[in-house]
Amino acid sequence: MDFSPPKSSSRSATLARQIFFDRVTHSAWLALERSGEWFDTELWRELARAGLTALAIPESHGGGGLGIEELCAVFEEQGRHAAPVPLLATAVLGALPDRRVRHVRAARALAGPVAEQGGGALCGAARVREQ
């Protein structure tokens, strides 16, 4: 059995690593602290332009159509560089649950801002109704 990660995961990690290496610096952290913002919006936009914020969103909703393995590779690089971006809140808590939304227009409304090049951010919240 082959447990090596898929090539798409390696490509996602390499791209994320390069962006984080270039952008997450001590001076960038100091600037972020002075700004009063809670995440680096320019870094977030760059990740969105590279398609990394929407990797696991279905292609039919404007995303990359890849899987959780590719997304986890980006999470690993985010953690390695302590990158101040809302990737977990957006990609997992906000955008991935749209796969369970049955109404296509509602699913696109959730995933669309994340999949756009401008890099929308979501925070996930759901109300589960017992049946």
Whole-angstrom Cα distance, residue 92 to residue 74?
12
Average pLDDT score over the chain: 77
Q: Are 124 and 111 in contact (CB under 8 A)?
A: no
The sign of the torsion formed by the CA atoms of 18, 21, 27, 30 equals positive
Question: What is the pLDDT at residue 125?
Answer: 44
Mean local confidence (pLDDT), 16-40:
94
Question: What is the pLDDT at residue 15?
Answer: 96
- Structural domain 7-115, CATH architecture: Orthogonal Bundle (1.10)
Question: What is the pTM (predicted TM-score) of this model?
Answer: 0.71
pLDDT tens digit string along 50-96? 989 888 877 877 778 888 888 889 999 999 999 999 888 877 765 55
Q: Please state the domain extents for the chain.
A: 7-115
